[in-house]
Amino acid sequence: MNNSQQFPKIPKMYQAQVDKRCSLQYVAELEDLDTWVQEWTDPKDDQQPYQLPESTLGQDSLTYRMKIKFSGRVFSNCGRDSIPRPVLGKNGIPCIPGSSVKGLFRRACNEEQKIWYCGNGDQPGKLRFHGAYPIGDWTGKKKVPVLQDGQRVSATRYCIVDLVHPQQERQVVTKDTSKETTTAIALISFYEPTFLFEFSSRSQINWQEVDTLLRQALRRGLGGKTSTGYGLSSEAALKPSYAQQQELSYQNAIHVRFKGSGVSSVLLNKEPEFRPNLFKATLRGHIMRLLAGCCGNENSVRSTVDDLFGSTNAPGTVQIFWESGRKPTYNTQGRNPTYSTQGTLHIQVSETDRYFVQQVLRFAYIMGGFGKAWRRVSHEKFYPTYSQNKFEIGCHWECLDSGWINISTTAQLKDFLLCCQCEIYQSSSKTIPLNQWREAWNPKCVAVYSSSEPVKQSKVVQLFHDEIFKTTPAIGGRNPHKEHPKKFNPPQNTSSVWHRMLPIGDNQYLEIVTVFHGDRAPWKREGTDQLKAFTDAVKANGLQRTWGTEPWL
């Protein structure tokens, strides 16, 4: 009798996390994760996830219940497993623990309410917090086509399987190409859930006040990752009226309306999803670049960024919320999906740092954009003959608030970059760049070129597909001799060139190319330095140096 006949199959949830036995954390090893999620969310094979029955809302004897719908993801980590996932309550039902709801509730209370409802060191509170449980489908279950034994079949995938793919070190810091690869980490987050919050008390409780306080507390988000848009209730999306209720006044917040399109992130179930955390990732990366250009102390740079955006040790002082003006739309007809979205970006920041963060936001918008493939213009928009048969590349963002940018000429772009440089330098006690970082923003190792007059179409986009330049690591990142098994030669390096078509009027753009040349190694192709050839080609197409140093001077 073999082992499979002698012993029942042990669910993945109870198996030790041993390599080649059960691995739930890493995206590259999906088989175990798919099995674990299937076993957990559909235990009876009846297409129904673990959940409690929906109960009577409002007051029911000594109990009070509230139902709150969330428009996006909610993340809460139990802190106990190899994969970040919610606390599992009775029968494997995920939940937000009562202690977490109590902490959330307290932050909306005044001192008197805190003592009455939550207690203090001298007396217990009058309110019991029973936590929050999802009702309905919290898994985002979908049927998607997959290949199995060469045949296309339908498979169940769950949108709760989220992922974190940190690329900060790869894109900003390292010059060591052996460290170019990054690891995507899987995690579990509730997908557009409806939660039932439950309280009880034997005292006389003003339940309407409890209801109001919890809804006020939820305006800041539930669970973790709220600074990137997780945990926001569809009833309480951040609006200016909400910003006025925060410790930081509305005047100290930043509110800008954007419209954008580009290559969409894709979940593990192959579904496209516009992810608002792209704004935080972009700002965090750019602040690292800008500070590295003038501060020679790496620890100081990282400490400043962690203070602003948070770390594993403490939350940051900057809170970022994307209020979607309309639900993102997706184009899945091409070889990779694209998104189109519109909304308002709200940034809560202290008065001390507000101007600095606002300048960095302007820098991000002017020089590239936000999200996946932000280093390139949208080929769907500016190189349509390419994107008809190839993978879509790039993104395109427009600001819907007139007057927020005020850049329409090369001279104005130069003034902005000089002003931005001065602002960054003033925030640092030193002006020594971190030369060991690949993208330290310093005029000695960066050159910015821009069109001398407005253009309607890109003059240089075709350069990025030149047979020589696209196989130069600093430009296209591809290896000229390595052929992919499926006849696709993917980039091996992060590009050292940014390309932007900055909207400045009705179908008019300021074309901008940014070249990092502090490290010459990526510019070598078969022993020949392609840096001067590329910058000469850029200038031959009508762009002129606007800021920084010519690479060969």
Write the CATH number for 256.
3.30.70
What average pLDDT does this structure show over 388-409?
Answer: 88
Q: Please count the structural domains in the chain.
A: 3
- Give the pLDDT band of residue 296 (cuts 50, 70, 90): confident
347 and 257 together in one domain = yes
DSSP states of 342-362: EEEEEEE--HHHHHHHHHHHH
- Closest C-alpha to 93, from 132, 34, 48, 52: 52
Domain contains 415: no
The predicted structure's pLDDT at residue 385:
84
Q: In which band, very low, low, confident or very high, does the pLDDT at 459 lie, cut at 50, 70 and 90?
A: very high
Neighbours of 57 (CB within 10 A): 11
Q: Residue 63: in which H helix or E strand, if any?
A: strand 63-69
Judge if 287 and 191 occupy the same domain. no
Question: CA–CA separation, 384 vs 455, rounded Å?
Answer: 17
The pLDDT value given to residue 279: 93
Are the beta carbons of 175 and 438 closer than 8 angstroms?
yes
Lowest-confidence region among 179-188, 210-219, 424-433, 494-503? 424-433
Band the pLDDT of 378: cuts 50, 70, 90.
very high
Evaluate whether 424 touches 294 at the Cβ level (below 8 Å).
Answer: yes
- Average pLDDT of 306-312? 84
Residue 404 reports pLDDT greater than 80: yes
Report whether pLDDT(410) > 60: yes
Residues 330 and 373 in one domain: yes
Query: What count of Cα atoms within 13 Å lies in the side-chain half-sphere of residue 189?
Result: 25
- pTM equals 0.80
pLDDT confidence band for 457 (50 / 70 / 90): very high
Mean pLDDT, residues 86-108 taken together: 88
Rounded average pLDDT over 527-549: 94
The pLDDT of residue 27 is above 70: no
What value does the mean pLDDT take over residues 453-463?
A: 94
Q: Is the pLDDT of residue 375 over 60?
A: yes
Taking CA 495 as the corner, what is the angle to CA 489 and CA 496, rounded to the nearest 5 degrees?
155
Distance CA 70, CA 56 (A): 20
- Residue 213: pLDDT band (50, 70, 90) is very high
Report the pLDDT value the prediction gives residue 301, as an integer from 0 to 100: 86
pLDDT at residue 188, as a whole number: 84
Do both 155 and 65 map to the same domain? yes
Instruction: Specify the DSSP class assigned to residue 483.
Output: P
Do both 217 and 261 map to the same domain? no
pLDDT score recorded for residue 65: 94
Q: 283: pLDDT confidence band, cut at 50, 70 and 90?
A: very high
Q: What is the mean pLDDT of residues 488-496?
A: 65
Question: Domain check: are 195 and 321 in the same one?
Answer: no
Residues 367/512, Cβ–Cβ less than 8 Å: yes
Buried b (16+ CB within 10 A) or exposed e, 467-490: ebbbbbbbbbbbbeeeeeeeeebe
- pLDDT higher than 70, residue 109: yes
Q: Same domain, yes or no, for 288 and 322?
A: yes
Query: Is 120 among the domain residues?
Result: yes
The answer to whether residue 416 sits within a structural domain is no
Q: What is the pLDDT of residue 246?
A: 46
pLDDT single digits (tens) 68-83: 988 888 988 877 667 7
335 part of a folded domain: yes
Residue 231 lies in a domain: no
> Per-residue confidence at 31, pLDDT binned at 50, 70, 90?
confident
Q: Is residue 410 part of a domain?
A: no
**99 in a structural domain:** yes
Instruction: Grade residue 238 by pLDDT with cuts at 50, 70 and 90.
Output: very low
Of 179, 195, 226, which one is at a domain's C-terminal end? 226
Average pLDDT of 132-151?
76
62 lies in the same domain as 185: yes
pLDDT at 530 > cutoff 80: yes
pLDDT at 546 > cutoff 90: yes
Model confidence at 96: pLDDT above 70: yes
Inform me whether the pLDDT recorded for 248 exceeds 50: no
- Please check the confidence at residue 5 and state whether its pLDDT lies above 60: no
How deeply is 135 buried, as exposed, middle or buried, from its count of CB atoms within 10 A (0-12, 13-18, 19+)?
middle
310 with 380, same domain: the answer is yes
Q: What average pLDDT does the segment 89-102 reach?
A: 88
Residues 246 and 97 in one domain: no
In angstroms, rounded to a whole number, what is the distance separating the alpha carbons of residues 474 and 468? 11
Residue 338: pLDDT over 80: yes
- State which of 341, 376, 404 marks the end of a domain: 404
Residues sharing a CB contact under 8 Å with residue 191, sequence separation 6 or more, in sequence order:
73, 138, 139, 140, 158, 159, 160
Question: Does residue 417 form part of some domain?
Answer: no
544 and 457 together in one domain: yes
Q: Are residues 291 and 363 in the same domain?
A: yes
Arithmetic mean of pLDDT, 183-209: 88
pLDDT at residue 537 is higher than 70: yes
Torsion of CA 275, 278, 279, 282, to 10 degrees: 180
Report the pLDDT value the prediction gives residue 51, as an integer from 0 to 100. Answer: 75
pLDDT at 450 over 90: yes
Residue bearing the bigger pLDDT, 341 or 169? 341
Which pLDDT score is estimated for 483? 52
Amino acid 239: pLDDT: 45
pLDDT cut 90: percent of the chain above it: 34
> Which of these ranges, 10-24, 287-301, 336-350, has the smallest mean pLDDT?
10-24
pLDDT at 134 over 50: yes
Between 306 and 311, where is the model more confident? 306
Q: How would you write 263-293 as a 3-class SS string? A: ECEECCCCCEECCCHHHHHHHHHHHHHHHHC
Q: Which domain holds residue 324?
A: 238-404
Assess whether pLDDT exceeds 50 at residue 135. Answer: yes
In percent, the amount of the chain with pLDDT more than 70 equals 78
Mean pLDDT of all residues in 223-246: 61
What's the rounded Cα separation, in Å, for the pair 216 and 477?
49
Domain boundary among 164, 196, 226: 226
Q: Decide which of 276 and 30 is more confident.
A: 276
